[in-house]
Amino acid sequence: MGRIIDRLLQLGPVLLGVTVIVFLMITLTPGDPVEIMLGDMKSSPEQAEVLRRDMGLDRPPVERFFRFVGNALQGNFGLSFFHRRPVSEVIAERLPATIELTLAALLLSLLISIPLGALAAVHKGGWLDRTATVGSLLGVSLPGFWFGILLIMLFSVQLGVLPVSGRIGYGYEVPAVTGLLTIDTLLAGRLDSFLQALRHLALPAITLALPMAAPLMRVTRASMLDVLRSDYVTFAEAKGLSRRRVLWRHALKNALMPTVTIAALETGSLLGGNMIVESVFGWPGLGRLVVESIFARNYPLVQAAVLLYAVTYVLLNFIADVAYTLLNPRVRL
């Protein structure tokens, strides 16, 4: 119980600190959103003034900071400068795509890393072990932006089997329930749409999953080795339980603890890092929107997004703690 409270208390200063940093960066960063918005179409100084007032940029930074915090606590994150609609609306529209991609990548990397890691540990030193190790090192060494482009060139242009970009072909009806296309299409029983969604998800999820699968595999392997060597496994074997049962019932469950912990943490960094993948694959997610917003100096959106990421990071840490407890009842929360 103490740990829960501890974690939640941690949320406060982290959020505040993150907000302060963002505000400082914004204030110190050159670039004027009003100028960007005016572009080079006909404009007058009056128009610039009107826009500046609309965006709240005619107030001093300190006042803007407190105004922002005050509004944020009530759930109001202001209007996006360029969409001229509430930031929360704009973010909420783009969030499901990022969540879906992240979850798909997470699932994929777990599916790859856990069996591989466990098998590599069991057959330590064998060819599977060595191949898996080199493979995982390869996964972590690939620059995502380059690899993504290569995948598109190969599968979409040369072979033509997978689509180039987007989430789903336009001709498919998508009843929105969760915003995650794969789940929504399944819920509605639309198999063809589901397959389309999967096809579009494939390449970006693979590009995102590979760098994550690598450390997960190594951690699974390492902790599996630990567990295999441990006393209670030897004890279980001595009791006469079949090796297979020992492995897959007892050893794996305990070996998974560090894997789950690291997976939760890596997901946090995934959210922060999938911007490049989203850009390369034209995935309409939040990451791409945030990068565009930074370049366009769309302050309200950047501020809100950073807060969102910070909250997610702390929550994921929290989940990692809870999962750790659940998988090992000996550790008290």
Within positions 145 to 204, which residues make up the interface with other proteins, using CB under 8 A? Answer: 145-147, 149-150, 152-153, 156-157, 160, 163-171, 174, 191-193, 195-196, 199
**Rounded to an integer, what distance in angstroms lies between the CA atom of residue 34 and that of residue 54?**
10
Q: Please report how close the Cβ of residue 330 comes to other proteins at its closest, in angstroms.
A: 20
Phi first, then psi, for residue 75 (nearest 5°) are 85, 10
Beta pairing partners, 86: 79
**Contacts to other proteins from residues 209-238, by CB under 8 A:** 222, 225-226
Six token digits for residue 206:
């693979």
Total site size for other proteins, rule CB under 8 A = 103
**Does residue number 271 form part of the binding site for other proteins (CB under 8 A)?**
yes
Q: Which residues contact 222 (CB under 8 A, 6 or more apart)?
A: 121, 258
Q: In the set 295, 326, 328, 333, which binds other proteins (CB under 8 A)? A: 295
Alpha-carbon Rg for the chain in angstroms: 24
Q: In the set 56, 115, 133, 327, which binds other proteins (CB under 8 A)? A: 133
**Does residue number 302 form part of the binding site for other proteins (CB under 8 A)?**
yes
Q: Please report how close the Cβ of residue 324 comes to other proteins at its closest, in angstroms.
A: 16
**Contacts to other proteins from residues 88-117, by CB under 8 A:** 93-94, 97
Residue 86, SS3? strand
Q: Please report how close the Cβ of residue 242 comes to other proteins at its closest, in angstroms.
A: 25
CB-nearer residue toward other proteins: 185 or 256: 185
Q: Please report how close the Cβ of residue 205 comes to other proteins at its closest, in angstroms.
A: 16
Q: How many CB atoms lie within 10 A of CB 37?
A: 20
CB-nearer residue toward other proteins: 4 or 138: 138
**Rounded to an integer, what distance in angstroms lies between the CA atom of residue 179 and that of residue 95?**
9
CB-nearer residue toward other proteins: 103 or 162: 162
**Rounded to an integer, what distance in angstroms lies between the CA atom of residue 174 and that of residue 165?**
17
**Rounded to an integer, what distance in angstroms lies between the CA atom of residue 91 and that of residue 79?**
11
Chain center to CA of 123: 32
CB-nearer residue toward other proteins: 73 or 173: 173
Chain center to CA of 132: 25
**Rounded to an integer, what distance in angstroms lies between the CA atom of residue 201 and that of residue 206?**
9
User: What is Dmax (Cα atoms) for the chain?
Assistant: 87
Specify the stretch interacting with other proteins by CB under 8 A; choose among 47-55, 58-66, 109-117, 256-264: 47-55
Six token digits for residue 98:
């990022």
Q: Please report how close the Cβ of residue 240 comes to other proteins at its closest, in angstroms.
A: 26
Interface characters, 24-43, with other proteins (x: CB under 8 A): -xx-xxxxxx-xxxxxxxxx
Q: In the set 109, 220, 288, 319, which binds other proteins (CB under 8 A)? A: 288
Closest-CA residue to 323 (of 265, 242, 249, 277): 265
CB-nearer residue toward other proteins: 186 or 296: 296
Specify the stretch interacting with other proteins by CB under 8 A; choose among 105-113, 230-238, 247-255, 308-316: 308-316
**Does residue number 8 form part of the binding site for other proteins (CB under 8 A)?**
no
